[in-house]
Amino acid sequence: MVLEKIDQLAREWLEEAGNRIFMALEQTNIEVEAKSDRNDLVTNVDKSTERYFAEKIAEHFPDHRLLGEEGYGEEITSLEGVIWVLDPIDGTVNFVEQKRNFAISLGIYKEGIGELAYIYDIIGGEFYFAKRGEGAFVNDVEIPKLSADKKLEDALVIINTAAMHKFPQTLAIIKEARGLRLYGAATLEYMAVATGRADAYISANLAPWDIGAGKIIAEEVGAIVTRVDGTPMTITEKGASFVASPGVHAEILRDYLGK
């Protein structure tokens, strides 16, 4: 079965890519470039990691397509067939500045449906995995389903600064919540919600590779993933994203973002 083969190879490649990134952190000559603005960074390590996956996918699955951040894949306009959605390093600013709090993110979509997902927090030693309909796991331990009973007043929320500017209602959400947390890597922010370490994450500007894996894992534990207006998101779009446990998602939409 092709999904089993994909799963086996994806795990091997993630382990190898993780080792290479770990070794690269020891080097003093990481090349850093700014892309769309001075805080949108890419390094030679982001590029070589994506190129590694692009070569492996082309070799083993020539009819599959890659949707990746650094341009080694294809421009994807349709959801047909198998698409590998890859962020080789999510949290590149953290990679450069902190040498931690970043992850490799890989989601596998078949005819537009998320089937397999992997987020590998290399330094944190956490490997998140989900298979559609079969639960989500961190280091092979199943992640419990999220409670629908949580209230915003008891919740930790993650709201990036761009979302605070774009959606001024978020300031009232922060005021009502128990606290605000920011991690600087969308994948890890999705995983904070999936594991109940936080209860909601609102971001103004995510791309498919930021959420390709996180959406699958979060939905597998019962989180609700939508645009900020509550409508469903597709994997090819860029824009604002809102993920939360079910009760907190409903409360935020009803009392704040939906108004």
Q: Name the nearest CA neighbour of 194 among 174, 211, 170, 173.
A: 211
Q: Is 50 in the site for Ca ion (CB under 5 A)?
A: no
- The whole-angstrom distance between residue 162's C-alpha and the CA centroid of its chain comes to 17
**Shortest Cβ 92–ligand IPD spacing (Å):** 4
Least Cβ distance, residue 227 to Ca ion (angstroms):
18
Pattern of binders to ligand IPD over 41-70, x per CB under 6 A?
A: ----------------------------x-
Site for ligand IPD contains 91 (CB under 6 A): yes
Q: How far is the CB of 102 from Ca ion (least distance, A)?
A: 8
Q: How many residues does the chain have?
A: 259
The residue from 6, 10, 66, 69 that contacts Ca ion (CB under 5 A) is 69
Does residue 216 belong to the site contacting ligand IPD (CB under 6 A)? no
3-state secondary structure of 242: strand
CB of 222 to ligand IPD, least distance (A): 23
Q: Which spans in the chain are helix H?
A: 2-24, 44-60, 92-97, 161-166, 170-176, 186-194, 208-220, 246-252
Per CB under 5 A, which of residues 132..161 are in contact with Ca ion? none
Task: Select from Ca ion, ligand IPD, none the partner in contact with residue 241, using the beta carbon and a kind-dependent cut-off of 5 to 8 Å.
Answer: none
Is residue 221 within 8 A of residue 179, CB to CB? The reply is: no
The residue from 43, 49, 92, 170 that contacts ligand IPD (CB under 6 A) is 92
Q: Which is nearer to ligand IPD, 34 or 148 (CB)?
A: 34
User: Residue type at 76?
Assistant: I
Nearer to ligand IPD, 7 or 126 (CB): 126
Give the one entry of ligand IPD, Ca ion, none that residue 170 binds, where binding means its C-beta sits below a cut-off of 5 to 8 angstroms depending on kind. none
Task: Collect contacts of 57-62 with beta carbons under 8 A, ≥24 apart.
Answer: 57/84, 60/5, 60/9, 61/6
Query: Under the criterion CB under 6 A, does residue 160 sit at the interface with ligand IPD?
Result: yes
- How far apart CA 204 and CA 42 sit, in angstroms, is 20
Tokens 């003093």 belong to residue: 28
DSSP at 152? G
184 binds ligand IPD (CB under 6 A): yes
Query: What minimum distance in Å lies between the beta carbon of 134 and ligand IPD?
Result: 26
**133, 115 in Cβ contact below 8 A?**
no
